[in-house]
Amino acid sequence: MGKWLKNVWFSLSLTIFSLVVFVPKKGFAEGENVSISRNDMLNVAKELHPPGCTDSMTADYCTLSTAYDLRQEIWSLLEEDMDKKQVINYLVQKYDERILAAPTPEGFNLIAWVLPGVGVAIGAILILFLIKKWKKGQVESNENQQKLSVTDYDANKVQEELKNWL
């Protein structure tokens, strides 16, 4: 009877262990999101600027408590089956557009998207203009140096004048 009790005890223990370890904590309901990964949350957080952080920091790597709170809020919104766009829209409605890491490319904010390209184009044109002017100046100075070269007639005339004065 002792061996039979050991086998039953072993089987029962193995069954309970298997259920605890291998059965998921959430159910298998259709359409249920089993879990949200940290990367999903960080993917949304990198597009948001938490209140209080410097302008260069986004919520995915800012270490202030406001960034931590924002990441927690993003996590809870993602668990409510919101997608990335819905979460961002919800947070923009809650905190205003200043929470976005990059301004939306519309209206006055379009300047922030267009101005860098225009600045680079104007700078390139200015550099090309200055290079042309510099090359043209070198060619003219070479021509002037050739015109200023002393001829034999000029050298003889200078020698005669020096003899008169000395």
DSSP-assigned states of every residue in 90-118 = HHHHHH-GGGBSS--SSGGGHHHHHHHHH
Pair 86, 22 in one domain: yes
The domain that holds 78 is classified in CATH as 1.10.8.640
Percent of the chain with pLDDT over 70: 83
Long-range contacts of 127-135 (CB under 8 A, 24+ apart): none
3-state secondary structure (DSSP) of residue 148: coil
Q: Is the pLDDT of residue 144 over 80?
A: no
Q: Which of 102, 121, 154 is the last residue of a domain?
A: 102
Whole-number Å distance between alpha carbons of 5 and 7: 5
Write down the mean pLDDT value for the chain.
81
The pLDDT value given to residue 136: 80
The pLDDT value given to residue 26: 54
Pair 27, 45 in one domain: yes
The pLDDT value given to residue 120: 94
Pair 68, 113 in one domain: no
Whole-number Å distance between alpha carbons of 27 and 30: 9
- Tell me the per-residue pLDDT of 51-83, one tens digit each, with 9 for 90 and over: 888 777 888 888 888 888 989 999 999 999 888
- Tell me the per-residue pLDDT of 99-130, one tens digit each, with 9 for 90 and over: 888 877 778 878 888 899 999 999 999 999 99
Does any domain span residue 11? Answer: yes
Does any domain span residue 155? Answer: no
Does any domain span residue 150? Answer: no
Domain range for residue 128?
106-144
The pLDDT value given to residue 147: 66
Pair 98, 110 in one domain: no
The pLDDT value given to residue 87: 92
